Amino acid sequence: MFLVQAPPGVGKSHIAMTLARWSGDAYLLTSQKVLQDQYEREFGAELQIVKGRDNYACDHYPTARVPTSRGACRRPRGPLCQCPYARARTAALEGPIFCTNTAYFATLRHWHAERLRRRRLLVVDEAHNLEAQLASVFTAGFSPEQMRAWFGAPLPRLTSADDYRPLLAEHLDRLEGRLAATRRELEALRPPESAADVFLRIPPSRAEQELISQRDDLEAALARVHFFLDAEDAEWIVRYPPDAAATLELVPLTVAAMVRELFAESAELVVLSSAHLGPRRAVAECFGLDEGGVRAFAGASPFPVEQRRIVYRPVGALSRASLAALEPALFAAVALILAEHPAEKGLIHAPSYAAGERLVRDLAARAPAHARRLIWVESTEAKARALDAHRASPAATVLVSPSLREGVDLPDDFLRFQIVTKMPFPDLGDPWTAARRERDPRWYALETAKALVQAYGRSCRHADDHGVTYVLDAQFERFLTRYRVLLPEWFLDAAEPALRARYSENWAL
Distances (CA, A) of 55 to 74, 389, 423: 15, 21, 35
**Radius of gyration of the CA atoms of the chain, in A:** 25
CA 334 from chain centre, in angstroms, equals 27
Q: Is the pLDDT of residue 509 over 60?
A: no
Domain boundary assignment for the chain: 2-138+255-298, 141-249, 305-508
Report residue 29: phi and psi, to 5°.
-110, 140
Q: Using alpha carbons only, what angle is made at residue 133 by residues 131 and 138, rounded to the nearest 5 degrees?
A: 95
Q: What is the pLDDT of residue 188?
A: 86
| Residue range 93-135, pLDDT digits in tens | 999 999 999 999 999 888 877 788 999 999 999 999 999 999 9
Does the fold of domain 305-508 match that of domain 2-138+255-298? yes
| Residue range 425-449, pLDDT digits in tens | 999 999 999 999 999 989 999 999 9
| CB half-sphere exposure, 291, CA atoms < 13 A | 7
3-state secondary structure 82-148: CCHHHHHHHHHHHCCEEEEEHHHHHHHHHCCCCCCCCEEEEEECCHHHHHHHHHHHCCEEECHHHHH
Distances (CA, A) of 400 to 327, 349, 397, 497: 16, 6, 10, 27
- Please say whether the dihedral angle defined by the alpha carbons of residues 38, 41, 43 and 48, taken in this order, is positive or negative: positive
Would you mind telling me the total number of residues written for the chain in this entry? 509
Q: Using alpha carbons only, what angle is made at residue 445 by residues 440 and 448, rounded to the nearest 5 degrees?
A: 130
Closest by CA to 320, choosing from 355, 357, 353, is 355
Q: What is the pLDDT of residue 196?
A: 66
| Residue range 289-309, pLDDT digits in tens | 999 999 999 988 999 999 999
Q: Which residues pair with 470 in a beta bridge?
A: 311, 419
Determine contact, residues 179/286, Cβ cutoff 8 Å.
no
**305-508: CATH number:** 3.40.50.300
Query: pLDDT-based confidence at 494, cuts 50/70/90?
Result: very high
Q: Which residues pair with 420 in a beta bridge?
A: 349, 471
Q: What is the pLDDT of residue 328?
A: 95
Query: pLDDT-based confidence at 506, cuts 50/70/90?
Result: low
Determine contact, residues 14/273, Cβ cutoff 8 Å.
no
> Cα separation of 10 and 36, whole Å?
18
3-state DSSP assignment of residue 35: helix
Through-space distance between the first and last CA atoms of the chain, rounded to whole angstroms: 52
> Cα separation of 497 and 342, whole Å?
26
Closest by CA to 471, choosing from 321, 306, 367, 333, is 333
The residue with greater pLDDT, 432 or 202, is 432
> Letter for the amino acid at 72?
A
Q: What is the DSSP string of 198-211?
A: HHHHSPPPHHHHHH
So what's the architecture of 2-138+255-298 in CATH?
3-Layer(aba) Sandwich (3.40)
| Residue range 251-271, pLDDT digits in tens | 999 999 999 999 999 999 999
